[in-house]
Every structure is written in C-alpha cells, then in structure tokens.
Structure 1
Amino acid sequence: MAAHRTITRTEAVGGDVPRLAARGITVGYGGRTVIDGLDVEIPSGVVTTVIGPNGCGKSTLLRTLTRLLKPAGGAVVLDGEDIAGLRTRDVAKKLGLLPQAPVAPEGLTVSDLVARGRHPHQSWLRQWSSDDADIVRRALAMTGVADLADRPVDSLSGGQRQRVWISMTLAQGTDLLMLDEPTTYLDLAHAIDVLDLVDDLHESGCTVVMVLHDLNLATRYSDNLVVMREGSILAQGHPRDVITAGLLEEAFGLRAMVIDDPVGDRPLIVPIGRTHVQVNWASKQGS
C-alpha cells in the first residue's frame, strides 16, 4: 500500500488548530480490524468529505470520530480533550451527527423532531424556554423547512426529510456537523439540493464532515478530501491537489480521465469502461 501523503492548500486547511482529530486509532468489529493506527485531522471551517471504495472504513471512521464506536487503541481529540472522557451531553453540545438513513418515530411532526436537538441543553434545572423555541425556529428557517413544521416527518419526500434531520442537528447549537452519506437514496436533483444546503451551512460558519459515494459530488462540494483504502488514508487535501487518474486507479481500481469541471473550479472525473469509448481516444491511449 502506498504511504499516506497529506497534500494541502491554504483554502483547504487554513491556519487554525483542528477542533477534531484522530490520533493512532485502531477500530474493529467482531475480532476483525477495520482501521489500524490511523491519524487524521479535520480542518476547521471547511467542508471535509471522506471517500473510498465500499468497505474501506469511511463510516467506521466517522462513527469513531463521533464516539459511536470506541477505538481499541489511540484516541479521538475534540477541542483538545480526549472525547472518551467527555460527558455524552457535552459531546452533543459540540458535535452534531446525521447517521445513515435515520428513522423518526411514526407520526412525529417536523417541529417535534427538530426540538429534540435541544435535549442536550435540557436538565431538571433548565427546562424548555423561549430561547429553545427561537433556536428551533431558526434551524427550521436555515434549512428551508419552516413551512413543513406541522407535517409528519414520514409524510415528506426524501430530500425534505434530510433537510429536517440536518435542521435537528443545527438545533443542537453546534457548528461541527458530521453527515454520514446524507445523499443516500436521493435522486440527483434532491442530492444537489441537500449539498447546496451543506454549502450554505459552511458559508454560515459550520465545519462539516461528510461521507459520500458520488466522487464528482464529493469534489464539487468539498474543500478537503480524505481518500481511504483498506482502513488507511491514501491521500488528503484539496480536490485539485488530490484527484488524479493515478489516485483513482490506486484507490478504486477505476480507469478515468480527470478534466476541469466546466461549471466549477474543481476537477471532474470521467470514468472509462470497456465500451462506449470513442475510437480516436482509445487509439491514442494504445499508442
């Protein structure tokens, strides 16, 4: 396996100390090691997307960073502290997680679901207040679902539901959002809609970490890519510095051309199969 290389740009990592980092973590399931001795830093104030082939450890990494999984070795550091030593309530105040394909209780309304984001801030000394209600209203407005507040969550479209779940994480009052495959099961139009929302949240000051399968959406909407293979980081950095034909072959076993995106400032990946390839292009490659 190639050595982990870190390639950065000023706009990708900035100059701040990262709020979230993994230090030599080892994670596994049922006696099988998935991640072994991995180090990664999440740059503050940018959108980081983790990509890699199926089974490479992307979601395992995200779940470990959010303390849903406990590493067998190493540590996750949140704001300079070992996350394992923090109270669950304190972690929830700093970090919001949208897991894969979340399910709301039947009949629960949008406003009630989003209000659950305020639970980490409640206690027997501090009950629901007008401040909590204002935060929920702002979260609904930021994600464009205020008009759906009285609708049952299970009556919404896939794209609407994802916006509502993101709204709930915003209601937690955190500016560090972790999204595990937020476009799963969405058609392309709804996926773009959700990722445009993620971009808006980033512009408003949020640090976002996502796992995505669509490589071109990952490059389009990310400032920092983390490329994984077999539980290790193969490359990290700005999409323009990271995405090459050689890396795609190495990480995914994918033959592809990498060209300039005609509507953006990121690279565009053009996969190459055995068929439907122009003869003149194929002959050039063979010469």
Structure 2
Amino acid sequence: MIEAKNIALGTRLLPLSFSVEQGEIVHLLGANGSGKSTLLELLSGLTEGQGDVFLSGVSLNAIDSKSLARQRAYLSQQQKPAFAIGVYQYLSLSLSALGKYHPAELDTAVKEICTTLGIEDKLNRNTEQLSGGEWQRVRLAGVCLQIWPDINPDGQLLILDEPATALDIAQQSVMYKMVRRIAERGIAVVMSNHDINRTLSDADRVMLLKNGHLVAQGTPREVMHVDMLEKVFGTRLRRVEIDGQLLMLNT
C-alpha cells in the first residue's frame, strides 16, 4: 500500500493525506495550476516538501535512489528526446536499477508491453524518427517496463503525469488499456488526467483538486457530480447516462 501523510509544498499544494491500494487506479482531476503535477512530484520522491510518503510502510526518505527506482516509476509531462537513441536502447535504460534479470523474461515483457501500446514495430527506429504520439507511447513503455512484475518483483507504484498528451483517440485507448493491465498485475497507479469521461469509466478512485486544495475524493460516481465538477473546473457541465454509461458534457 502507498500512503501519503500531510504532503504539501508551499502554496502550490496544501496539506493532504490519502492512500492507494495495490492494483488501484487513482485519477487526479483539476484545472491547470490546481496542484496535480506537484502532488505527483512529491509522491515520486523527486521533489522535497512537507509531510511524508510511505511505500509498504517505509518512508521515501529512508529509501536510496536505486531502491526507489525499483519500487516506483514516474512519467513526467511529455519531454522531447534529449538526444538521439535507438528505441530498444532507450527502453533498456529503464532497467538500469533492476540488477539481474532473465533475458527471455525481458524479451517477453518488452513484447507484451510494446504490443499492447502498438509500438512493437518501432523498436528498431531512432527516437528522432518518432512522431509525438509514438514517442509518448515509448516513454510509457519505459516506465511500465521499469516496474513490470515478471522482471521486477519489487515494483509497487506507477505515477503518470498527463500520459494522454500528444495521443490521438486510438492511442489514448491503448494507453488506458495498458494502465489497466499493469494495475491488474498488482501495481498501484496514480495519474493526472484532463478527460473527465475517461475518469468516469477508467478510474477506481478520483481526487479533485482546486488551487492546491483537495476538495473531494472517492469513487467517480460518489464525487463526480455536476455541481462539484463545475466548482473545480469553473465551467458549465451536464451529466447524462447513455446505455448505462455516465458522461459529462460541457454546456
């Protein structure tokens, strides 16, 4: 289990506490500047703030960087490749903290992840030859590989900051499929999101943020009411149900 206790960072994120269970998918929703990225940075251990984060009862402050890289993977907001590198070589960088692993198990993991994300035919390309959507899916493959249970039994947490950036509708679909697949392998997932309807259908739990405050958390059906979402996003919405599926429409 992952537990955050009174984490905060100045006025960017005011103190909040929450926990995430094994295999649970938690979405962070809020307007730009609401504190989503700051929360994820604190949860990753890459930014220091107030409070503490625990992985299976152990404080991040007590975990060395190599061990932490075995336990959690963090996808920051989209960045362009810093230098030209082969896609397969880039994915291999995700394994630097893992120590020994069986080559056959690695090949199987790479194939399963890349097939799910639709980039199995990109492994022999150079990162400079990729479109924005292809590069984003390669980045996602890298963090999934880092904590994939078949090659890393210590993986516990996947953190994703706006992973749908640069993805078209079809690519977003495979991304959410990948997130669910890794959660089914026992990895907790915490991710920021801008697609309210995807959160309604894909999240196990949602946290609503506004101006650094946590204004509500619970299952999507419990907290994603029109009046609450209008307060969080500052826009008019209408909630409808089509064939049993809840949808939010911007009016």
Tell me the TM-score range normalised by the shorter chain. 0.7 to 0.9
Deviation of residue 186 (structure 1)?
2.3
Q: How far, CA to CA, are the matches of 1:214 and 1:234 in structure 2?
A: 18
Given the alignment of the two structures, is residue 199 of structure 1 paired with residue 184 of structure 2, yes or no?
A: no
* Structure 2 SS opposite 1:119: coil
Q: How far, CA to CA, are the matches of 2:101 and 2:55 in structure 1?
A: 30
Q: How far, CA to CA, are the matches of 1:199 and 1:163 in structure 2?
A: 15
- Contact persistence 2:87–2:126 (CA under 8 A): yes
Identity percentage over the alignment?
29
Deviation of residue 150 (structure 1)?
1.2
Residue 70 of structure 2, aligned match among 93, 100, 107: 93
Q: Indicate the larger mover: 79-88 or 246-255.
A: 246-255
Give 4+ residue runs of structure 1 displaced > 4 Å after superposition. Answer: none
Count, aligned residues: 241
RMSD of aligned Cα (Å): 2.0
Equivalent residue letter for 2:79: P
* Structure 2 SS opposite 1:106: coil
Q: How far, CA to CA, are the matches of 2:202 and 2:106 in structure 1?
A: 27
TM-score normalised per structure 2: 0.88
Given the alignment of the two structures, is residue 163 of structure 1 paired with residue 137 of structure 2, yes or no?
A: yes
Residue 81 of structure 2, aligned match among 88, 104, 118: 104
> What do residues 215-261 of structure 1 show as CA deviations (whole Å, max 9, x unaligned)?
11222221111111111211111111111111112211222111225
Q: Indicate the larger mover: 242-251 or 252-261.
A: 252-261
Larger radius of gyration: 1
* Structure 1 SS opposite 2:124: coil
Residue in 1 that maps onto 2:228: 247
Q: Indicate the larger mover: 78-87 or 160-169.
A: 160-169
Q: How far, CA to CA, are the matches of 1:143 and 1:257 in structure 2?
A: 37
Q: Residues 121-200 of structure 1 correspond to what in structure 2 (within 5 A)?
A: 121-122=98-99, 131-132=102-103, 134-135=105-106, 137-144=108-115, 145-172=119-146, 173=152, 174-200=155-181
- Check 1:205–1:22 CA distance in 2 against 1; reply closer, same or farther (3 A cut): closer
- Contact persistence 1:226–1:235 (CA under 8 A): yes
Deviation of residue 110 (structure 1)?
1.2
Deviation of residue 136 (structure 1)?
5.0
* Structure 2 SS opposite 1:219: helix
- Check 1:258–1:140 CA distance in 2 against 1; reply closer, same or farther (3 A cut): same
Q: How far, CA to CA, are the matches of 2:229 and 2:222 in structure 1?
A: 13
Equivalent residue letter for 2:109: R
Unaligned runs of 5+ in 1: 1-18, 123-128, 273-287
Residue 75 of structure 1, aligned match among 52, 55, 72: 52
Residue in 2 that maps onto 1:20: 2
- Contact persistence 2:136–2:166 (CA under 8 A): no
TM-score normalised per structure 1: 0.77
Q: How far, CA to CA, are the matches of 1:105 and 1:133 in structure 2?
A: 30
- Contact persistence 1:162–1:182 (CA under 8 A): yes
Q: How far, CA to CA, are the matches of 1:132 and 1:35 in structure 2?
A: 42
